[in-house]
Amino acid sequence: MKGTSGNFKSIKYRVDELNEETYTYKYTLIEGDGLADNLEKITYDVKFEQSADGGSISKVTSTYYTVGDFKLKDEEIKAGKEKVLAMFKAVEAYLLQNPEAYA
């Protein structure tokens, strides 16, 4: 599967919905190195909820749209999930070190 290892050269997302009242965000990966040859697109539904310790919890649902009869392997889905989690952790670390970026 193309794009499962290394850094991506380019990725293009489309924002489908941003709802500040429900703390939800929906976007779609529509082109770039993050898509395998047999993937049309990947959609992401993100919901933020307050945690008991005063922080937040993000829940992400990814939907893969394949071309034809192509089936993703579990390890490919897991690799994609790990990349998304790494991105969230990098953003979290940056924001914790730079609170003025979102204040």
pLDDT tens per residue across span 61-82: 999 999 989 888 899 889 888 8
Residues 6+ apart with CB under 8 A from 81: 62
pLDDT, mean over the chain: 86
Per-domain residue ranges of the chain: 11-101
Kindly state the average pLDDT of the residues 6-31: 89
* Structure confidence at residue 103 (pLDDT): 64
| Higher-scoring residue by pLDDT: 49, 37 | 49
- Architecture of the domain delimited by 11-101: 2-Layer Sandwich (3.30)
pLDDT at 9: 80
Q: What are phi and psi of 52, to 5 degrees?
A: -65, -25
Q: What is the pTM of this model?
A: 0.74
